[in-house]
Chain A
Amino acid sequence: MTRLTSGGDRVDRSRPVTVTFDGADYPAYAGDTLASALLANGVRTVARGIYTGRPRGVFGIGAEEPNAFVQVESGTGEPMLPATLVEVYDGLRARSVAGKGRLSDVPDNARYDHKTAHCELVVVGGGMDGLRIAAEAAGRGERVVVCESSRVLAATLQEQDDVLLLNRTTVVGQYDHGYVVAVERRTDHLPDAPETVARQRLWHVRAGRVVDTTKGMEHPYAFPDNDRPGVMLAGAAAEYVTWYGVLPGRVAVVASGNDDALRAALVLADAGVALGAVLDTRPEVPAGLADGLRGLGVDVRTGHAVCGTDADSDGAVVAAHVAPVDEHGRGTAEPQLIRCDLVAVSRAWGPPPWSGQQVRTPGGASTTVGVPSVIRVPDGDGDAAGRTFVDLHRDATLADVERAVRVGMTHPEHVKRYTTIGTGADQGRTANPVMLGVLAELTGRPTAELEPTTSRPPAVPVSFALLAGRDRGRLADPERVTPMHPWHVAHGLPFEDVGQWRRPWYAPRGDEDMDEAVRRECRAVRTGVGTMDASTLGKIELQGRDVGAFLDRIYTNLFSTLKVGRIKYGVMCHADGMVFDDGTTARLSEDRWLMSTTTGNAAAVLDWLEEWLFTEWPELDVRCTSVTDHWATVAIAGPRSRDVVAALAPDLDLGAEAFPFMTFREATVAGLPARVFRISFSGELAYEVNVPAWYGLALWERVLEAGKPYGITVYGTETMHVLRAEKGFPIVGQDTDGTVTPQDLGMSWAVSKRKSFVGKRSYGREENLRDDRKQLVGLVADGDRVVPEGAQLVVAPGGVPPVPMAGHVTSGYWSTALEQPFALALLERGSERHGERLYAVDDGEAVAVTVTAPVCYDPEGARRDG
């Protein structure tokens, strides 16, 4: 046992606990970290090198720890945490790790929360300084958030209105405009974490300013066999004494390069650690400190350094090699052996460990200049450079840096990538300064001239579960459902996700698979009547005197002349002339219009309309409102659809002349107030009945009831896709990809030559006048094979790669109308190539296809009136 009988201001000796490490039980106190508990029990080897497998001990005391990574197995568990940051509790179980942990194979069911705070000041570090600054700011009426990584907050400030004191809270990221992200560990220190309390909280703080009061960061120098258990930062060694009442060794050799390390030596000596020697690489040290040590009988040697270690059979330090060194760290005499179990090393102190800002690590910059970063033995054996570890966490050595420089790497970022130095979970806090020093020496440049590598948040490892917070599973993304959704669920319909919408995909009967169901549904619509829930289609209501003029500018075709009660199909393009969306728009009254958009594009279209109205045409009197969720829509399609609608709306004259195609009527349908649109996405006689959303389910059920005598068949998105493809109706985003003009789609008829609209000017651009543009065509295959979306079209099968691609399939289905597979495709010069034989390459096989017009079913449109 190396626990002192008293002292240690972070541990509570009235609360003994037991921890288990690598299967063995150890006593500890509440307030210990796993690192201090293991040191208190004389456990020297706590991990192994990731590549070398060499034994490693505790090297630091905080986030800088490069060695002592453990897998926490109790509680929620964590695959890889530095033992220096794991707070003990009774029953803590952990295991040593060789460089990398293992992800748990059971789900993490703990709760994680996100919280937001706004304040004038964030103070990083809850020590005396931090709380003094916080109190001053609070006194000025400022809102303050204090984040202290450890359990212990100085007791000088009480939590009060506008002062938030967070212990066990680590600032992991600092971003633009005072955005600070911190992790609060709420239950990780509890043996029985209550399920109702979030295990961790991620704080999102918007701060006027951030003050970092954390102490500076200690940098070691490197020397041969500097990775052995027993080698530790000198400041950390002293803090194990003062914070935890733990002696990190019995006999120490202090390897110093700065005054603070000499003070650390005094702390160790005062606590009863025997000092084998105190070495300082500097030729002179302050007399007060040296005399203080010598007064205790300590052997203080200036101009000396540790240049190696000896190990016991477990690989831990039993002796230090000590030699006089020059200012470059080269030994100038034969090393002498000094027996010890602790080598406490400290080259210099740098700025505080960054708390998550994206910064160039201030690696070389430190309080002491002229202290070497690496010690080389006089006439050392050739392998010494390979055992001189620059990055303990990555097992990267002096020899690795030398090799990097030999092959031409001179920038620290290049050396970092070549050697992996600084890429570990510790972010190279102890390694980067050594690497910079070595690189400076090897390339003959001052350290200050080297541009340090960049540190990026998070400052300490953060679990994905915490980042996800409550946005997991069903809450990961909002799920939009229609008013008819309960019916679809109750009848076991499979769903297709379209954006955030859940849409019924097909409606299988019995054991039908999708192909069978879709063929049956298609036949029903083509020969009888089918119905689908079309509520997800985007709907935007436009109101104002100038809607007609506005739509003329937005759509490629003319809308202002549309009469009230009529509907028109429109295509809208971006200014580059490429198709952006399409759909029908109805004129509800003189100054009210209802636009429909593609399901997945509704928000983008609304944004687009508003952008033009706000930024270019504020003089237009137009207001846009999304009404997608306000209306439920039931499509009733097929030659018998008129019978079904007639049964539901006996007062409505459904004659082809009284209620023609592309018009709508206000009517009572199934006793509900409705708008009935005579539009068709299948080519068949069809009606789309719209009712206020809360009537959606009622309408759906009444349509099914009224349709029973006609064998009404529920269909889903898959059948809808097949039916529209047979008619050559493209789907924006499936048959187009942002490089397709209306002309490419064969829709020149919808592009006005008389008026100006967004995109029109681009049709005069050279690129859009090329005669080898890809155009929409239909394809019919010889055999039974459906060529899938994405298949490339080639002129001849086989051939030596690279084979020129003539186009690609955008939609491919089995057509029940044609009794054969068909497809839509974008094909170079496609409109001139109808009748040509091509090959669609699917899964390495060339499928013979014949190019046709895009409309392969009822090209005359004879079926739309039933």
Chain B
Amino acid sequence: MLYIPCPWCGPRDETEFRYGGEAGVAYPADPDAVDDAAWSEYLFVRSNPKGWFEERWVHTSGCRRWFTVRRHTVSYEIRDPRPIGEST
């Protein structure tokens, strides 16, 4: 079970969180302006790197806030917890 550093509450067990998938996949400002391929990309396609990965979590059983971390998908090391939208 991962030990996830919530930027507001500190490190907590993974069971307190819900996973939010890849970070930085923005909802298109005007969905009608993007073509089918770009919309499909937004809906369905996510990167799946072996190595460092920017991902979102939400502290559902805690402060209920969303945040971004960098997690290494092999070692599971987690770095740089920060509120959504903030860069490292």
Binding site for B on A (CB under 8 A): 175-179, 206, 575-576, 607, 610-611, 614-616, 618, 756, 760-762, 764-766
Pair B76/A176 contact, Cβ less than 8 Å = yes
Pair B58/A177 contact, Cβ less than 8 Å = no
Pair A176/B1 contact, Cβ less than 8 Å = yes
Q: Is B46 an interface residue (CB 8 A)?
A: no
Among B30, B36, B64, B85, point to the contact of A766 (Cβ < 8 A).
B36
Pair B76/A607 contact, Cβ less than 8 Å = no
Q: Give the residues in chain B near A611, CB-CB below 8 Å.
A: 20, 58, 66
Pair A175/B1 contact, Cβ less than 8 Å = yes
| A to B CB contacts below 8 Å, 29 in the list | A176-B1, A176-B2, A176-B3, A176-B76, A177-B1, A177-B3, A178-B3, A206-B13, A575-B27, A575-B42, A607-B60, A610-B58, A610-B64, A614-B58, A615-B56, A616-B27, A618-B84, A618-B85, A756-B31, A760-B31, A760-B32, A761-B28, A761-B31, A761-B32, A762-B39, A765-B36, A765-B39, A765-B40, A766-B36
Pair A761/B1 contact, Cβ less than 8 Å = no
Please measure, in the bound complex, the distance between the C-alpha atom of A177 and the C-alpha atom of B60, giving whole angstroms. 20
Q: Give the residues in chain B near A614, CB-CB below 8 Å.
A: 58, 65-66, 84
Please measure, in the bound complex, the distance between the C-alpha atom of A586 and the C-alpha atom of B61, giving whole angstroms. 28
Q: Give the residues in chain A near B43, CB-CB below 8 Å.
A: 575-576, 762
Nearest residue in B to A206 (C-beta to C-beta)? B3
Among A178, A179, A607, point to the contact of B18 (Cβ < 8 A).
A607
Nearest residue in A to B34 (C-beta to C-beta)? A761
| B25-55 interface (Cβ within 8 A of A) | 26-28, 30-32, 34, 36, 39-40, 42-43
Pick from A175, A618, A761 the residue with the most CB of B within 10 Å: A761
Q: Give the residues in chain B near A607, CB-CB below 8 Å.
A: 18, 58, 60
CB-based closest 9 A-B pairs? A761-B31, A177-B3, A614-B66, A176-B76, A616-B27, A179-B1, A615-B84, A615-B66, A761-B39
Looking at the assembled complex, report how far the CB atom of A609 sits from the nearest CB atom of chain B, in whole angstroms. Answer: 11
A-B Cβ contacts below 8 A, count:
57
Please measure, in the bound complex, the distance between the C-alpha atom of A175 and the C-alpha atom of B36, giving whole angstroms. 42
Looking at the assembled complex, report how far the CB atom of B42 sits from the nearest CB atom of chain A, in whole angstroms. Answer: 8
Looking at the assembled complex, report how far the CB atom of B63 sits from the nearest CB atom of chain A, in whole angstroms. Answer: 11
Pair A179/B3 contact, Cβ less than 8 Å = yes
Looking at the assembled complex, report how far the CB atom of B3 sits from the nearest CB atom of chain A, in whole angstroms. Answer: 4
Binding site for A on B (CB under 8 A): 1-3, 13, 18, 20, 26-28, 30-32, 34, 36, 39-40, 42-43, 56, 58, 60, 64-66, 76, 78, 84-85
Q: Give the residues in chain A near B2, CB-CB below 8 Å.
A: 176-177
Please measure, in the bound complex, the distance between the C-alpha atom of A764 and the C-alpha atom of B28, giving whole angstroms. 15
Looking at the assembled complex, report how far the CB atom of B71 sits from the nearest CB atom of chain A, in whole angstroms. Answer: 10
Q: Give the residues in chain A near B85, CB-CB below 8 Å.
A: 618
Please measure, in the bound complex, the distance between the C-alpha atom of A762 and the C-alpha atom of B43, giving whole angstroms. 9
Please measure, in the bound complex, the distance between the C-alpha atom of A725 and the C-alpha atom of B40, giving whole angstroms. 35
Please measure, in the bound complex, the distance between the C-alpha atom of A760 and the C-alpha atom of B39, giving whole angstroms. 11
Q: Give the residues in chain B near A615, CB-CB below 8 Å.
A: 20, 56, 66, 84
Q: Give the residues in chain B near A178, CB-CB below 8 Å.
A: 3
Please measure, in the bound complex, the distance between the C-alpha atom of A437 and the C-alpha atom of B43, giving whole angstroms. 51
Nearest residue in B to A612 (C-beta to C-beta)? B27
Pair B18/A616 contact, Cβ less than 8 Å = no
Pair A177/B76 contact, Cβ less than 8 Å = yes
Please measure, in the bound complex, the distance between the C-alpha atom of A506 and the C-alpha atom of B84, giving whole angstroms. 47
Q: Give the residues in chain B near A176, CB-CB below 8 Å.
A: 1-3, 76
Looking at the assembled complex, report how far the CB atom of A791 sits from the nearest CB atom of chain B, in whole angstroms. Answer: 32
Q: Give the residues in chain A near B42, CB-CB below 8 Å.
A: 575
Please measure, in the bound complex, the distance between the C-alpha atom of A607 and the C-alpha atom of B20, giving whole angstroms. 11
Q: Give the residues in chain B near A177, CB-CB below 8 Å.
A: 1-3, 76, 78
Q: Give the residues in chain A near B39, CB-CB below 8 Å.
A: 761-762, 765
Please measure, in the bound complex, the distance between the C-alpha atom of A43 and the C-alpha atom of B6, giving whole angstroms. 58
Q: Give the residues in chain B near A761, CB-CB below 8 Å.
A: 28, 31-32, 34, 39
Looking at the assembled complex, report how far the CB atom of B7 sits from the nearest CB atom of chain A, in whole angstroms. Answer: 13
Q: Give the residues in chain B near A764, CB-CB below 8 Å.
A: 36
Nearest residue in A to B31 (C-beta to C-beta)? A761
Q: Give the residues in chain B near A618, CB-CB below 8 Å.
A: 84-85
Please measure, in the bound complex, the distance between the C-alpha atom of A760 and the C-alpha atom of B18, giving whole angstroms. 26
Nearest residue in A to B3 (C-beta to C-beta)? A177
Please measure, in the bound complex, the distance between the C-alpha atom of A575 and the C-alpha atom of B26, giving whole angstroms. 12
Looking at the assembled complex, report how far the CB atom of A110 sits from the nearest CB atom of chain B, in whole angstroms. Answer: 26
Please measure, in the bound complex, the distance between the C-alpha atom of A618 and the C-alpha atom of B84, giving whole angstroms. 10
Q: Give the residues in chain B near A179, CB-CB below 8 Å.
A: 1, 3
Q: Give the residues in chain B near A575, CB-CB below 8 Å.
A: 27, 42-43
Nearest residue in B to A116 (C-beta to C-beta)? B13
Q: Give the residues in chain A near B84, CB-CB below 8 Å.
A: 614-615, 618
Pair A756/B1 contact, Cβ less than 8 Å = no
Q: Give the residues in chain A near B60, CB-CB below 8 Å.
A: 607
Q: Give the residues in chain A near B56, CB-CB below 8 Å.
A: 615
Please measure, in the bound complex, the distance between the C-alpha atom of A178 and the C-alpha atom of B28, giving whole angstroms. 39
Please measure, in the bound complex, the distance between the C-alpha atom of A583 and the C-alpha atom of B20, giving whole angstroms. 25
Besides A177-B3, A610-B58, A615-B56, 19 more A-B contacts (Cβ < 8 Å) are A176-B2, A177-B1, A177-B78, A178-B3, A179-B1, A575-B27, A575-B43, A607-B58, A611-B20, A611-B66, A614-B58, A614-B84, A756-B32, A761-B31, A761-B34, A762-B39, A762-B43, A764-B36, A765-B40
Please measure, in the bound complex, the distance between the C-alpha atom of A766 and the C-alpha atom of B34, giving whole angstroms. 14
Please measure, in the bound complex, the distance between the C-alpha atom of A575 and the C-alpha atom of B34, giving whole angstroms. 14
Nearest residue in A to B44 (C-beta to C-beta)? A576
Nearest residue in A to B4 (C-beta to C-beta)? A177
Q: Give the residues in chain A near B20, CB-CB below 8 Å.
A: 611, 615
Please measure, in the bound complex, the distance between the C-alpha atom of A15 and the C-alpha atom of B75, giving whole angstroms. 50
Looking at the assembled complex, report how far the CB atom of B9 sits from the nearest CB atom of chain A, in whole angstroms. Answer: 15
Q: Give the residues in chain A near B13, CB-CB below 8 Å.
A: 206
Looking at the assembled complex, report how far the CB atom of B17 sits from the nearest CB atom of chain A, in whole angstroms. Answer: 12
Please measure, in the bound complex, the distance between the C-alpha atom of A175 and the C-alpha atom of B3, giving whole angstroms. 10
Looking at the assembled complex, report how far the CB atom of A173 sits from the nearest CB atom of chain B, in whole angstroms. Answer: 10
Please measure, in the bound complex, the distance between the C-alpha atom of A762 and the C-alpha atom of B31, giving whole angstroms. 9
Looking at the assembled complex, report how far the CB atom of A827 sits from the nearest CB atom of chain B, in whole angstroms. Answer: 26
Q: Give the residues in chain A near B36, CB-CB below 8 Å.
A: 764-766
Q: Give the residues in chain B near A762, CB-CB below 8 Å.
A: 39, 43
Pick from B13, B31, B39, B58 the residue with the most CB of A within 10 Å: B31
Pick from A177, A756, A766 the residue with the most CB of B within 10 Å: A177
Please measure, in the bound complex, the distance between the C-alpha atom of A275 and the C-alpha atom of B36, giving whole angstroms. 83
Looking at the assembled complex, report how far the CB atom of B79 sits from the nearest CB atom of chain A, in whole angstroms. Answer: 12
Please measure, in the bound complex, the distance between the C-alpha atom of A217 and the C-alpha atom of B70, giving whole angstroms. 38
